Amino acid sequence: MPRGDFLGEFEQVVLLAVARLGDDAYGMSILDEIRGRTGFEPAVASVYAALDRLERQGLVSSALGRPTPERGGRAKRFFGLTPDGTRALVRSRGALDALWDGLDLEPGTSA
């Protein structure tokens, strides 16, 4: 795998949240999914910055939904994985699985 093909940890987390949410993946739902599944509390701005970066890299795409009265007439921006985004996640998982294979680490111990 060439250098630069690995996703960062936070990029993986954001992409996995987008994948889990499917058609309901927008900024705050992605943040809630990350918080609910990991207990990690990323800043809202960090999630949006990652989404913008991932979109520039072609790993997610976005589209505006319909404006709603609940949002003061503003539209939600929905995100979805692109085929390249799916491939990047699968590659990253494969690399991590290969590194974890055969390791039996327990918390509080060293390798």
CA count, 13 A, side-chain hemisphere, 14: 27
**Residue 61 burial by Cβ neighbours in a 10 Å radius (0-12, 13-18, 19+):** middle
pTM: 0.85
Tokens of 104: 């039996």
Domain ranges of the chain: 9-93
- The set of residues, in sequence order, having a beta carbon less than 8 Å from that of 76 and lying 6+ positions away, is 26, 27, 64, 65, 68
Tokens of 24: 């309901």
Q: What is the pLDDT along the chain (111 residues), one digit of tens a residue?
A: 444 678 999 999 999 999 999 999 999 999 999 999 999 999 999 999 999 999 999 999 999 988 777 767 788 899 999 999 999 999 999 999 999 898 888 887 776
Check whether domain 9-93 has CATH 1.10.10.10, yes or no: yes
